[in-house]
Amino acid sequence: MRSLAAMKRAREKEKARLAAQGPQAKQVREVVVPEAITVQELANRMAERSVDVIKSLMKMGVMATINHPLDADTAELIVTEFGHKVKRVSEADVEIGLAGDSDADDQLVARAPVVTIMGHVDHGKTSLLDALRATDVAKHEAGGITQHIGAYKVSLKSGAAITFLDTPGHEAFTAMRARGAKVTDIVVLVVAADDGIQPQTVEAIAHAKAAQVPIIVAINKIDKGDANPDRVRTDLLQHEVALEGYGGDVLGVEVSAKTGKGLDKLEEAILLQSEILDLRANPTRAAQGAIVEAKLERGRGSVATVLVQKGTIKVGDIFVAGEEWGRVRALIDDHGRQVDSAGPSTPVEVLGLTGTPQAGDDFQVVENEARAREVTEFRQRRTREQTAAARARGTLEQMFTKIREGEAKELAVVVKTDVQGSLEAISGSLAKLKTDEVAVRLLHGAVGGITEGDVALAKASQGLIVGFNVRANPQARDLAKRDGIEIRYYSIIYDVIDDIKAALSGLLAPSLREKFLGNAEIRQVFDVSKAGKVAGCRVVEGMVKRGAKVRLLRDQTVIHEGTLKTLRRFKEEVREVQEGYECGMAFENYQDIREGDLIECFEVEEVARTI
């Protein structure tokens, strides 16, 4: 081993050598900056130390750790600050040319319309789909449409055809749209004539309108004694759906899924609407479409139902589907038959994927395997980077930046409230808010807790969700977290309007923001003679703290807000209780607590808004 003195000498020598060389000329690098990048990765690419990058970010007012994701604009500033050259790469670079050329008019031929059926639960969506499926004339030779592949094509006597998508719900419809797929040409809104407009009917209208897809109303269950189709027609007016003869031009058809009455009229209406839309596609190019459904099946591997939108898919084709790719091993149609190819507006099951894509992903046949790999690898990387960046920044701040830069013209909002009165007040005030450049677009407003559907809707339009005295259910909360959708909770109408107004006019003042601490579920309610009602709780998430503020939630709705009088564990007054533990809680001046209620615990802090 070398002696300590020898090592010291060697170091001195090295120092002297460096000093003699003088300051080294800095090497200027070309730094590739994607849409999102972590501090660490950016430092690596510049060959700089990450602490220096963090310091430089601090000078710009951004507090970051090495794992902190930066958006491309911030990253670019840093790169120039360090004297390097920036090379921005975006989706375009890898995906250029992927979609192929646009088609000349004379290559286009008429294609079948693609229809999604929506409506309130039990109004007869499934029954109607089944009844329409039964009208397929091809069924005689092939035994009817038997295969469940999430979509099927009904051939009519006239030779025309209609493709129906069997999406499991409004969320699925909008989730597909959020992934960039524009698949549905027409929405058939089913309303039961004996039940009228119901909450999910209104929701369906919101989803269809947000997608800018024409609606045809099927007034179902017309066979029933208490059917009142005229009431349906009148009530629809309140939701800005004006049927023919009611001051509008929306087609409305009375049907019975049970007796089959009016089904031919409904099909006629769909074909009429599709004529107006002039739906055409080129069948002779490389296939392009959307994933309707995809799953991993034992013995078959990943299987996807593809709705072909352009071109013709053939066995042996190499394709990209979202972040996955494959080679078509077999094609199976909605009758369960193996086919060699499928053209526009045809749903077909595709075997031969290397992974399972998601509903709504795009489908694209490409030249070769190398191209397929290049695109999917890029997309996988982009998703990883984007989810990280999305988590780091709230939607409102993002929107605000976009508005300021003139990129956005609208602030899309979903509003959920505890009562109709506050819904009307909030949507009314929001509708009036606008500046010269931007306005608020209300995607959906309804009474009730925040659901996955609301998150999907907000995501599809890059909007945010306002919860007024209501909360998101756990699934919705997870989805929002995953997709970086901001949910803002309010309990004062003025605050809602103020925040949105501030965002629109480009003035995000420091604000009081709530910090969620935890939730406790009430397991049992005790009557204690001196203390009044005490809730026996279990902390199901986070923690609860004495002195913090609390809200009582029943069915996702806030029914009381106040402070805690006591927080106990085994008769002992304690400062805080963590997740998984039981405790006793009582509210200051409030007694109406019930088993099953949720106690939300939060603190209020002032934060400066960062942009």
CA 275/CA 287 separation, integer angstroms = 23
Out of ligand GDP, Mg ion, none, which partner does residue 549 contact, by CB within 5 to 8 A per kind?
Answer: none
CB of 227 to ligand GDP, least distance (A): 9
Q: Quick one: 193 or 442, whose CB is closer to ligand GDP?
A: 193
- Work out how close the CB of 190 gets to ligand GDP at its nearest, in angstroms, rounded to a whole number: 6
Question: Nearest approach, Cβ of 270 to ligand GDP (angstroms)?
Answer: 18
Stretch that binds Mg ion, among 123-131, 165-173, 297-305, 502-510 (CB under 5 A): 123-131
Of 167 and 288, the one with the shorter C-beta distance to Mg ion is 167
* CA dist., res. 13 & res. 2, Å (int): 16
Residue 120 or residue 545: which is nearer to Mg ion going by CB? 120
Q: Are 84 and 31 in contact (CB under 8 A)?
A: yes
The structure tokens listed for 164 are 């129906």
Longest CA–CA separation in the chain, Å = 104
Q: Residue 454: which of 409, 486, 410, 408 has the closest Cα? A: 486
Q: How far, in Å, CA of 236 to CA of 251, rounded?
A: 12
Ranked by CB distance to Mg ion, the top (closest) residue is 126
Cα 175 to Cα 59, 86, 185, 358, distances in angstroms: 40, 35, 16, 10
Q: By CB under 6 A, name the binding residues for ligand GDP.
A: 119, 121-127, 220-221, 223-224, 256-258
Q: Which residue has tokens 């034992």?
A: 298
Stretch that binds Mg ion, among 117-125, 137-145, 238-246, 526-534 (CB under 5 A): 117-125
* Shortest distance, position 258 Cβ to ligand GDP, whole Å: 3
Rounded CA-CA distance 152/165 in Å is: 7
Of 126 and 420, the one with the shorter C-beta distance to Mg ion is 126
3-state SS, residue 221? coil
Q: Which of Mg ion, ligand GDP, none does residue 116 bind to, with CB < 5 to 8 Å depending on kind?
A: none
| Nearest-angstrom CA–CA distance, 597 and 84 | 57
User: Residue 133: which of Mg ion, ligand GDP, none does it interact with, CB under 5 to 8 A by kind?
Assistant: none
Nearest distance, CB of residue 204 and Mg ion, angstroms: 13
Neighbours of 362 (CB within 10 A): 20
Q: Which of 147, 145, 154, 151 is nearest to 167 (CA)?
A: 151
Is the Cβ of residue 47 or residue 121 nearer to ligand GDP in the bound state? 121
244 close to 251: Cβ distance less than 8 angstroms:
yes
Applying CB under 5 A, the span of 66-74, 119-127, 214-222, 312-320 interacting with Mg ion comes to 119-127
Q: Considering beta carbons, is residue 125 or 488 the nearer one to Mg ion?
A: 125
Nearer to ligand GDP, 258 or 538 (CB): 258
For the residues of 265-324, what is the DSSP string, one character each? Answer: HHHHHHHHHHHHHT-EE-TTSB-EEEEEEEEEETTTEEEEEEEEEESBEETT-EEEETTE
Q: Tell me how far, at minimum, the Cβ of 218 lies from ligand GDP, in Å.
A: 10
67, 80, 126, 524: residue in contact with Mg ion (rule CB under 5 A): 126
Residue 65 binds Mg ion, judged by CB under 5 A? no
CB of 188 to Mg ion, least distance (A): 14
Tell me, residue by residue from 67 to 106, as one string, x for binding to Mg ion by CB under 5 A and - for no binding.
Answer: ----------------------------------------
CB of 224 to ligand GDP, least distance (A): 5
- Our CB check for Mg ion shows the closer of 125 and 335 to be 125
* Residue 476 contacts residue 450 (beta carbons within 8 Å): yes
Instruction: Kindly list the distances between the CA atom of residue 162 and the CA atoms of 64, 379, 609, in Å, as whole numbers in the listed order.
Output: 54, 33, 51
Binder of residue 256, out of Mg ion, ligand GDP, none (CB less than 5 to 8 A by kind): ligand GDP
3-state secondary structure 117-185: EEECCCCCHHHHHHHHHHCCCCHHHHCCCCCCCCEEEEECCCCCEEEEECCCCHHHHHHHHHCCCCCCC
Query: Does the protein bind Mg ion through residue 563 (CB under 5 A)?
Result: no
Supply the minimum distance, in Å, between the C-beta of residue 221 and ligand GDP.
4
Task: Tell the smallest beta-carbon distance from residue 204 to ligand GDP (Å).
Answer: 11
Size of the site for Mg ion (CB under 5 A): 2
- Number of C-beta neighbours around residue 361 at 10 A: 25
Nearer to ligand GDP, 224 or 533 (CB): 224
Pick the closest to residue 57 from 68, 47, 41 (CA basis).
68
Residue 84's binding partner out of ligand GDP, Mg ion, none, with CB under 5 to 8 Å set by partner kind: none
Which letter, b or e, does each residue of 416-442 get, where b requires 16 or more Cβ atoms within 10 Å of its Cβ? Answer: bbbeeebbebbbebbeebeeeebebeb
Which does residue 223 bind out of Mg ion, ligand GDP, none, counting CB within 5 to 8 angstroms by kind? ligand GDP
Measured from the CB atom, the residue of 256 and 461 that comes closer to ligand GDP is 256
Residue 122: CB minimum distance to Mg ion, A: 8
Cβ proximity of 45 and 39 under 8 Å:
no
**Of 489, 465, 486, 473, which Cα lies nearest the Cα of 561?**
489
Question: Could you tell me if 307 and 290 are in contact, meaning their C-beta atoms sit under 8 angstroms apart?
Answer: yes
3-state secondary structure of 450: strand
Minimum separation from the CB atom of position 124 to ligand GDP (A): 3
DSSP notation for 559-596: EEEEEEEEEEETTEE-SEEETT-EEEEEETT-----TT
Residue 122: partners with Cβ closer than 8 Å, 6 or more residues away: 192, 195
Window of 125-133, 277-285, 480-488, 572-580 that interacts with Mg ion by CB under 5 A? 125-133
- Using the contact rule CB under 5 A, the part of the chain among 120-128, 381-389, 410-418, 507-515 near Mg ion is 120-128
120 or 545: whose CB is closer to ligand GDP? 120
Q: How far apart are CA 496 and CA 465, in angstroms?
A: 11
- 179, interface contact from ligand GDP, Mg ion, none, CB < 5-8 Å by kind: none
Query: In angstroms, rounded to a whole number, what is the distance separating the alpha carbons of residues 559 and 597?
Result: 10
Interface segment toward Mg ion; rule CB under 5 A; list 118-126, 185-193, 225-233, 467-475? 118-126
Residue nearer to ligand GDP on the CB measure, 193 or 303: 193
CB of 263 to Mg ion, least distance (A): 17
148 binds Mg ion (CB under 5 A): no
Cβ proximity to ligand GDP: between 259 and 578 the closer is 259
Closest to ligand GDP by CB, 122 or 275: 122
SS3 at position 207: helix
Q: How far is the CB of 200 from ligand GDP (least distance, A)?
A: 9
Residues forming the site for Mg ion (CB under 5 A): 125-126
